[in-house]
Amino acid sequence: MTARRALLAALLLVGATVTACGGSSSPKGNEVVFPTVVTLGKGDIFPAINNQVLAVGDNRVSMSLTDRNDNPVLGAQVHLRFYDLNGPKPALRSESDARFIPMTLAYVDEQSGKQEQQSGDAGVYVTHATFDEPGNWGVQVTVVRDGTSPPPVPFRFNVLAHAPEPAIGDPAPASRQATLATVPSIEDIDSSYPPRPQMHDTTVADALTSGKPIVVAFATPAFCQSRTCAPVMDTVMDPLYAKYKDRAAFIHIEPYELPQLRQSNVDEPVRAMREWNLQTEPWVFVVGRDGRVAGKFEGIMAVDEVESVLVQALGGTPTVTPSPTS
């Protein structure tokens, strides 16, 4: 089993362990009960957290919803209530509406020759939540679609003391990944078609000395396999590069050694993946002028999410272009 298949299997297992399928909690007054045993096949809505991990501090929480037939629930109204479960009773810590972000697919219109975008058959619900201690937490998910709302779904998840990948405020690893100057062919470091040489001409280490913000994407356009592996190069990196290429550095890093992957289907992570301690892809990091991580985004993301952080890193407040499908 290759590393990516093993990872996908692990993610599916994690998704199963955090998915609540009981439909609703058994109330004790106003107290929400979070089941410790998952019962599959019951209830109308099945949530699953897509994050590699959640950790103490601010988190961009990404969640998928499916119905009882395992079809994705897209474009619903979702409200999330987060509870600390480390005490004797569940303690409500925060609540917010989640934003639906569809997976967008880029294509070239044959008649106009222009690149267009359309929504795919997947999407995630995103919000920000702050966890102030590690351990057991819960979220109660309320979903409204087609004017109806099934009973709220409570489920548990775990919060770590520290995330494995760089946290917001941490120094960005000064990776010296392979560039056009160090490989025989761009195909060795870019699976895009056509490739993007403009994002492979400098290392992260050198970009950190430029005094400019950096946008770093760990993504493999040709070998993306999971449901939440969005085409971030087309829908996020390309538009931001076109708009900010003179003011920020844009770097694309393939997560796996492409020659090995093409020849023997062995997905060996590149050194930069290990230096950033990433176990999934895609990831996009925005690094400020000070060399510290200003924002990080995992899986399906909207261009305006990333742009808003980049604008702050640039020190300005221009009008942020919203995602065409957000």
Strand partners, 157: 137
Strand partners, 217: 252, 284
Contacts of 58 (CB under 8 A, 6+ apart): 128, 129, 130, 168
CB-side neighbour CA atoms (13 Å) of 99: 16
3-state secondary structure of 91: strand
**Residue pair 64/51 in contact by the 8 Å Cβ criterion:** no
**Residue pair 171/289 in contact by the 8 Å Cβ criterion:** no
Can you tell me the distance from the alpha carbon of 101 to that of 299, in angstroms, rounded to the nearest whole number? 11
- Spell out the domains of the chain, with CATH numbers in brackets: 3-159 (2.60.40), 186-314 (3.40.30.10)
Can you tell me the distance from the alpha carbon of 273 to that of 271, in angstroms, rounded to the nearest whole number? 5
Residue 9: in which H helix or E strand, if any? helix 3-18
Structure tokens at 249: 């550095």
Residue-wise pLDDT tens for the chain (326 aa)?
444 433 333 333 334 334 444 444 444 556 788 987 655 446 788 999 999 999 999 999 999 999 988 899 999 999 999 999 999 999 999 999 999 999 866 544 445 544 445 556 789 999 999 999 999 999 999 999 988 998 999 989 999 999 999 999 999 999 999 999 999 999 999 999 999 999 999 999 999 999 999 999 999 998 876 655 668 999 999 999 999 999 999 999 999 999 999 999 888 999 999 999 999 999 999 999 999 999 999 999 999 999 999 999 999 654 444 444 33
Structure tokens at 255: 């997560």
